[in-house]
Chains A and B, each alone.
Chain A
Amino acid sequence: MNWEVVIGLEIHTQLSTKSKLFSGAAVGFGAEPNTQTTLVDLGMPGALPVFNKEALRMAVMFGHAINAEIGMTSVFARKNYFYPDLPKGYQTSQMDHPIVGKGYLDVTLDDGTTSRIGITRAHLEEDAGKSLHEDFHGMTGIDLNRSSTPLLEIVSEPDIRSAKEAVAYVKMIHSIVTYLGICDGNMAEGSMRCDINLSLRPKGQEEYGTRTEIKNVNSFRFIEKAIYTEIERQSDILEDGGKIVQETRLYDPEKNETRSMRSKEDANDYRYFPCPDLLPIELTEDYVEEIRQTLPELPSQKAVRFQSEYKLSEYDANVLSSSRAMADYFETANSQVKDAKLTANWVMGELSKTLNQEQLDIAQSTVSAEAFGELLIRIKDNTINGKTAKDVFQAMWLGEGSADQIIDAKGLKQVTDTGAIESMIQTIMDANQAQVEQYRAADEDKQKKMIGFFVGQVMKASQGKANPGIVNPILAKMLKG
């Protein structure tokens, strides 16, 4: 049978406020357990929540970025369940009146096709604490630092039809929230987590099949793999005439499998009701409009501008605009170099390669965009060739100085003096007379291949400093005799 996969995603993004959603405790990853908590976060009787203004602003900003209706009146609700890392016995969330209503994103895949993914809603809620199950003599340790950390939960429509589309959508959300500066996007530290709702139906059928929910997947790669694995599991069951059980599952990246956590029927009874401790939030048109004015240029807009302003290819423009830090780096460097293609190639090439090797983000690059620009200028004005520039870049990376300092200190300036190059070539021809004879006897096609040997010798003799643009024509002429 030909199955169609139907996917909807819930993405939890941690908003980068300084303090918590409902208390004045600090928010931060990696603090000593329970040092960032207050009576409110501990769920002490009588402690009352006070809502963080900045979280509201961030949520509205996100709403604008996905073309959504903003909830002019929004209401907090209690989602009731028992778990020790949720001492209040309920999570303060939103149900009927979320802060962000219906919106959408246009997602472009690598093959250039674009599809529109609907976003049902995005609502504000508090995070729970953390349970540690190991090493406490059969007890569970509870750390409530994360309790009441502000989350924006972004819920998509079941509009996604493949693993690739899901990953492209999550990447786009990631790039938007980091562009807006409302989330640090650090998936390894849990700043963005994804729940995947997935079902299969026979191609052509309207009605959805029974779905499962895979909880808390926290990397782009795992999202893709979890989806492939779950598609396979469900289609195996359906092909054998079985039925899918609606349940919550967990993805295990080590075994590359999903397994059952709990069946949904039992856990789903959250008994939402409006939170009596928090009053409705009323927004004014002025406030919403004021925030719209502060929206930065978004990734998709930047990609379009990079193509028109810098004449970059669609691919280059998309790669460079995918992160705000990379786009800024490119533009800062290029403002000096004024050769967009050269700058783009080097940012996406040597710089990205080195960052990947060191597993660093572009914001952590030891070579600043300004310093990088100075290096590229030296390629452009023929002071050094591309090959030497890579060595200079590595030296810059290690903190040996600016491009000009390194070029001077190591004497890497290209030899452009034609007289010097001619005498270098003469020496090489004298030392390799047999090769010169062979070259002269060969036909033109073969000569083109054979000339590489001489170019190599010149580069070696000049320690890579000869300018290939000058060497090649002189060499061809002298070999001809």
Chain B
Amino acid sequence: MSIDKQDVQKIAHLARLALTEADAEQYQQSLSSVLSLVEQMQSVNTDGIEPLSNPLEMTQRLRDDVVTEENRRDDFLANAPQTEAGLFLVPKVID
């Protein structure tokens, strides 16, 4: 199985990555070979096998519903390039 350059650009767009023409060509090849491997694996009979959602044979540990963290806004905002009135400022986005 192979994918074309348009697919690569679409995936890059979804991941917000800027690709040069040369990059796109390289990714097209390497992603295609990953997909070929997947295709090969698909010939294995998986009847009756539950899909694996995590390789560790463990289950999720749970946390009691208590507030354990205090307000550290000043520390957090100190890392941000621009802040105002307790808010992080980012370039304007309107959906």
Contact = CB atoms under 8 A, between A and B. Distances in A.
Given A18-B66, A24-B66, A142 B89 contact: yes
Interface stretch (B23-31, B32-40, B53-61): B53-61
A25 B61 CA distance: 18
B69 A25 contact: yes
Contacts of A281: 59-60
Contacts of A184: none
A54 B54 contact: no
Contact of A97 (B53, B68, B84, B91): B53
Nearest to A27: B67
Interface of A: 17-19, 23-26, 32-38, 42, 50-56, 75, 80, 82-84, 96-97, 131-133, 136, 138-144, 261-262, 269, 271, 274, 276, 278-282
Contacts, number: 122
Given A53-B65, A280-B59, 11 more contacts: A24-B67, A32-B86, A34-B77, A34-B86, A35-B73, A50-B62, A54-B64, A75-B53, A75-B54, A142-B89, A279-B59
B49 interface: no
Q: Which 9 pairs between the two chains have the least Cβ-Cβ distance?
A: A24-B68, A54-B65, A141-B87, A53-B62, A274-B53, A33-B86, A279-B60, A142-B88, A282-B59
B49 to A, nearest CB: 15
Contacts of A25: 67, 69
Given A80-B14, A281-B60, A141 B71 contact: no
B87 A132 contact: yes
Contacts of B54: 75, 274, 276, 279-280
A292 B63 CA distance: 21
The binding surface of chain A is classed by DSSP as loop
Interface residues of B, number: 36
A24 B84 contact: no
A397 B65 CA distance: 38
A97 B92 CA distance: 36
16 contacts: A18-B65, A24-B63, A34-B73, A35-B73, A133-B92, A136-B87, A139-B89, A141-B88, A141-B89, A142-B87, A143-B86, A276-B54, A280-B53, A280-B54, A281-B59, A282-B59
Contacts of B76: 34, 37, 42
Residue of B16, B76, B82 most packed against chain A (CB within 10 A): B76
B90 interface: yes
B95 interface: yes
Nearest to A96: B51
B41 interface: no
A37 B59 contact: no
B44 interface: no
B85 interface: yes
Contact of B90 (A36, A80, A96, A139): A139
B18 interface: no
Contacts of B90: 84, 139-140, 142
A143 B72 CA distance: 14
Contacts of B60: 51, 278-282
B53 A38 contact: no
